[in-house]
Chain A
Amino acid sequence: MAPGILQAKALTKSFKGFYAVDGVTLNVEEGSIHALIGANGAGKTTCFNLLSKFLEPTSGSIVFKGKDITRSKPDRVARLGLVRSFQISAVFGGLSVMENVSLALQRGRGESFDFWRSPRALAHQRPRAEELLESVGLSAYKETPAAELPYGRKRALELATTLALDPEVMLLDEPTAGMATEDVGRIARLIQTVAKGRTVVMVEHNLGVVSELCDRITVLARGQILVEGDYETVSRDERVIESYIGGGGHE
């Protein structure tokens, strides 16, 4: 297998002896949409937090664009082009929709410690911000405080904010979690559009979305990889069916 844009080797995370992620090796190919699925407690979210560096791995290594990021800080990997979203929609609630996107855009200027500068220094990025809001259908809400948006719109805003950084790899944590059916379709289409020319790794529960969008699927169970392949392969695998039914039976 050719080395992908994001690789994890024998990634392990233990919490006081409990192995939440146990020797996971992943190879995410550039330009693909890669899904991590599995029953509750399979280690998807931990794995996700390890890849985005919000958690330190106990052992193993992570390589992004040929660079070892195993011990890098999360803000550092974000600046390298590996940007994550959150399961609970992460918007800056007290700020307007426009300000949310603008905050991501201004990152491009460097580290902006310029407390003496007027906000006019950011005026030039407004057209780009409007373009981004247009692309996720939020043009009508520019001045609305993000906290007042309905849930589905918040996810759209989060996506626009992530896109503003123009990341090479987007890590999406359950982008359709807790959404009404009509919103799920809209967000799925949106992901498909924005994924062009990018690599996406997503944790997702909704198998419809996974089958529709994802090129490659890794199924986790008890912190380890159960199966990996395209939707056809994975959905026919007996262990996967069993794991899902087994996992589902307890809920």
Chain B
Amino acid sequence: MRLLTWTVLAVGLIALLAVPFFPQVVYPIFVMKTFCFILFACAFNLLLGHTGILSFGHAAFFGSGAYITGYCVKYLGWPTDLGLLAGMLAAAALGVIFGALAIRRSGIYLAMITLAMAQLVYFFYLQAPFTGAEDGLQQIPRGTFLGLLDLRSDITLYYVVFGIVAAGLWVVWRTVNSPFGAVLRAIREHEPRAVSLGYPVARYKVLVFALSAGLSGLAGSMKAIIFQLAALNDAHWHMSGDVILMTLLGGMNTVFGPAAGAVLVSAMTHYLDPFGAWVTVIIGLVFMSCVLLFREGIVGKLGKILKLNTNFQTDAAPAPGRLEKSKSEG
């Protein structure tokens, strides 16, 4: 079983690394865009799945990452790496503001507050002189990464994006499994009890907001570099809706489920493009059937099936053995 898992992972990794050499099979720019959405969805899920906070304003972070990076690289002439960092930090700072205001309420009211603030941010990018309004911030130079790697080449860019997304996902995974992540789960499960154990819940929420926003911003920043464009629809509330959709499709109670959701949504919008306006209808139908068939999401359901299988295999013999061992130790 474990061998199978590792084989699947290894084959997947090799396939991903080989992508830029087979542009006739899959378009590398599309894969890079999907990477950005994967990071976006997993970062968003730090709030929804792991802390139990529904934000309806994550487009503001994604869009801010894109615009701030674009502005720094194009108008201030910053190197690309610093531009990405600036986009991420700006989004994180915005996350602190959103978080500090929104967590005064919970549930649907919290979602409405984040939506309202995200709309303010959207109109800022619509009106601000540097953003190019409906045209977007165009012709962002890709530049070089760390002064060494020329990002004008799609192949180099691909590996840099791959590396950054992998690092971002590692941060998500680490956060979820850290002592801090354990407190987040406690807040999700029973907030008053977390308070009664002495945890200053508000500060935890603001910090996780900042983390989630920062990583979402990084995803937006990379999208701006890949397409050399920061566009209004990056900050539009549709984007906030899309990321919720991806997360729920993939499974919000898993660490990487949202990644699967991101791939699915991204692939549907890409490959179903010839159907034009029908794409929305198709995505809607897929979403409905997913929610009706497996409420825990694609990965959540898959995990349950696999776990059931492993339980059958291991429960029969070794479990009592383990129990005896722990007894003799104690």
Contact = CB atoms under 8 A, between A and B. Distances in A.
A95 B186 contact: yes
Contacts of B198: 75-76, 78-79, 83, 107, 165
A126 to B, nearest CB: 11
A102 B182 contact: yes
B46 to A, nearest CB: 9
Given A75-B200, A75-B201, A114 B193 contact: no
A84 B196 contact: yes
B301 interface: no
- Band of interface residues on A: 35 or more
Contacts of B195: 54, 74-75, 78
B207 A113 contact: yes
B28 to A, nearest CB: 31
Nearest to A108: B198
- Band of interface residues on B: 20 to 34
A103 B200 contact: no
B200 A91 contact: no
Contacts of B179: 106, 109, 112, 114, 117, 119, 121-122
A111 interface: yes
B197 A94 contact: no
Given A86-B192, A92-B189, A115 B178 contact: yes
B175 interface: yes
A119 B186 contact: no
Contacts of B204: 113
B292 to A, nearest CB: 23
A5 B245 CA distance: 53
A36 B213 CA distance: 47
A140 to B, nearest CB: 8
Contacts, number: 105
A122 B190 CA distance: 21
B199 A99 contact: no
A85 B196 CA distance: 8
B203 interface: yes
Nearest to A131: B330
Interface string B221-238: 000000000000000000
Contact of B193 (A86, A109, A119): A86
Contacts of A113: 180, 203-204, 207
A153 B5 CA distance: 37
A106 B199 CA distance: 10
A92 B190 contact: yes
Contacts of B174: 115-116, 118
B177 A95 contact: no
18 contacts: A54-B195, A75-B195, A75-B196, A75-B199, A86-B192, A92-B189, A99-B182, A103-B183, A107-B198, A107-B199, A109-B179, A112-B179, A113-B204, A114-B178, A115-B178, A115-B181, A117-B179, A119-B182
Interface of B: 171, 174-175, 177-183, 185-186, 188-190, 192-201, 203-204, 207, 211, 330
A-B pairs, top 3 by smallest CB distance, nearest first, are: A78-B198, A92-B189, A115-B180
